[in-house]
Chains A and B, each alone.
Chain A
Amino acid sequence: MSSDADADAPSSEAAAASSDPVLAVDGLRKRYDDTVALDGVDLAVADGEFVAVVGPSGCGKSTLLRVLSGLEAEFGGRVAVDGTDVRDGGSDAVGMVFQEPRLLDWADVRENVAVGLPADVDPDSPGARERVDDLIETVGLGGFAESRPDELSGGMAQRVSLARGLAYDPSVLLLDEPFSALDRLTKADQQDHLLNVWEARGTTIVLVTHDVEEAVYLADRVVVLGGQPGTVESVVDVDIDRPRERADAELVALRREVTAALGR
């Protein structure tokens, strides 16, 4: 089953896909009424990998994440998390950080993070509470557990959303342009913060972004989506040790490569 996926996958990711991928996308086709949004997307993400998906507006990046997170029930092809189709509960193992924080205004940070706890965990149990407080600490919001969303800055709110995504202890954490609404400095901080969390927890991450610099700086592998309907145009490996320098010559060269693949 997974060998089929390997055969279709671009050669550059053969190493990553040689073990069973956490996330496997084969020939994904998604249409909205008459518009085909995605046509034949293949993607395999290995355990603990950080993959960035870049593409121009309207190439179906967000649609891809919506399919992966189980928000779209109708699509063609196969999408599986931990070997389970997302339509058969595979999406349960997925956490999602949306472009906007999407927090519950009336609930404090602790309650918002607890929304992400798995269904079988009683949010009022001491264990759950400890886990939530631990996550709030992890995303650097210690002391804000009782704050409400309107008391937080945009970057802080987005970190609550990140903690909520991690509360699930997901096999794959999906992030949909999570930093696009932030100013440049905050964005850089949040990116480093995400890297720290990823390194500390070893969560598999798929990050969708339109920011090439962000993609190359953060990811192990950059998948370039393009065309209409969207397909995988190319895959660029970023074999640079972390911590990375944003101005590193190699990184800048890769940035050019990705930008070129985007056709810009």
Chain B
Amino acid sequence: MAADTRRESDVSRESDAGRGSAAGGAARGAESRELGPLPLPAASRFRPFLGLLVPVALVLVWHVAVATGVFAAHQLPAPLRVAETLYGLAASGELWGHVAITLQRVVLGAGLGIGVGILFGTATGLSRAASDLLDPLLQSLKNIPSLAWVPLFLLWFGIGESAKVLLIAVGAFFPVYLNLSTGIAAVDEELLEVAEVYDLDRAESLRRVVFPAALPSLLVGIRGGVGLAWMFVVAAELIAASQGIGFLLSDGRTLARPDIIVGSILLFAFLGNCSDVAVKEVKNRVVGR
């Protein structure tokens, strides 16, 4: 009997997933649907769009505020002006060069930082000695603000790409390192005992128990790391770059073009958000099954 009810709930879970609602919504949906035959209100389908209401309202307020002269146009351009500028940059092809180089820096820097973070996080998570040796240092280094690294990195690596990529890697490293290290060290002692009783050797117990158990922590770290990579790319590009969205941003200031400044900020917001959603999606696929 217990088996049958289980199967039923599985079926309802599957059909929920098929509707493509958000993971949290699916779980709640399964519960509320068991209460009665009433279909879910259609409103839930529009829920993702609710989040757009406030930004749209803000843009309207912004437009009205500029049009009525609350803000001077040389301080805050109208939303349409920003859109026009971005469109112009895109049409001339200039924008894509900036976007491409920024994306390249973020991808390389985040990749490097995540890779090294996985290395150090695994070492300190597994080995008490490695943790005692490295963790205090890394814990204090993580508190250094991104901008503080910039002069040193310029001095060491020049104003070329490597300085920027390395700076971004520093940013992406810490969340990955911290989360993975804690995640591995916090793997349930009870599961490790299972591995011991069933004589899994060290490598097997890592592969089958420790790493899968720490995977959610790693993904949380990667999400944080990618977020910080975007913070650090701005720092890198604001100070020493001849291309990239950060350069566009500072160029807008030099040229006294607030439309370019606001446009660049919106670009950062958009791209950062896209990468965050992508990482979150991967995380949900891997962990939230």
Residues in chain A within 8 A of chain B (CB atoms)? 69-71, 91-92, 94-96, 98, 100, 102, 104, 106-107, 115-119, 143-144, 147-148, 151-153, 155-156, 164, 168, 186
Contacts and interface: CB of A to CB of B under 8 A. Distances in A.
Contacts of A156: 2-3, 6
B191 A151 contact: no
Given A100-B190, A151-B10, A153-B2, A71 B196 contact: yes
Contacts of B3: 143-144, 156
Interface stretch (B53-61, B89-97, B197-205, B261-269): B197-205
A144 B191 CA distance: 22
B198 A104 contact: no
A168 B215 contact: no
B197 A70 contact: yes
Contacts, number: 61
B-side interface mostly: helix
Contacts of A152: 6
B212 A98 contact: no
B289 interface: yes
A168 B198 CA distance: 8
Contact of B2 (A104, A117, A155): A155
A115 B200 contact: yes
A259 to B, nearest CB: 31
Nearest to B205: A115
Contacts of A102: 190-191, 193-194
Nearest to B212: A106
Contacts of A144: 3
B197 A94 contact: yes
A198 B212 CA distance: 33
B198 A116 contact: yes
A156 B190 CA distance: 19
A69 B197 contact: yes
Contacts of A186: 2
B209 interface: yes
14 contacts: A70-B196, A100-B190, A104-B208, A104-B213, A106-B213, A107-B212, A118-B199, A144-B3, A147-B6, A147-B10, A148-B289, A156-B3, A156-B6, A186-B2
Interface in B1-59: 2-3, 6, 9-10
Contacts of B204: 119
Contacts of A148: 289
A98 B212 CA distance: 21
A71 B198 contact: no
Nearest to B201: A119
Among B3, B193, B197, B212, chain A packs the most CB atoms within 10 A around the CB of B197
Nearest to B215: A106
A98 B10 CA distance: 27
Nearest to B208: A115
Contact of B198 (A100, A115, A143): A115
A71 B199 contact: no
A262 to B, nearest CB: 28
A200 B190 CA distance: 30
A54 B56 CA distance: 69
Contact of A115 (B190, B194, B213, B215): B194
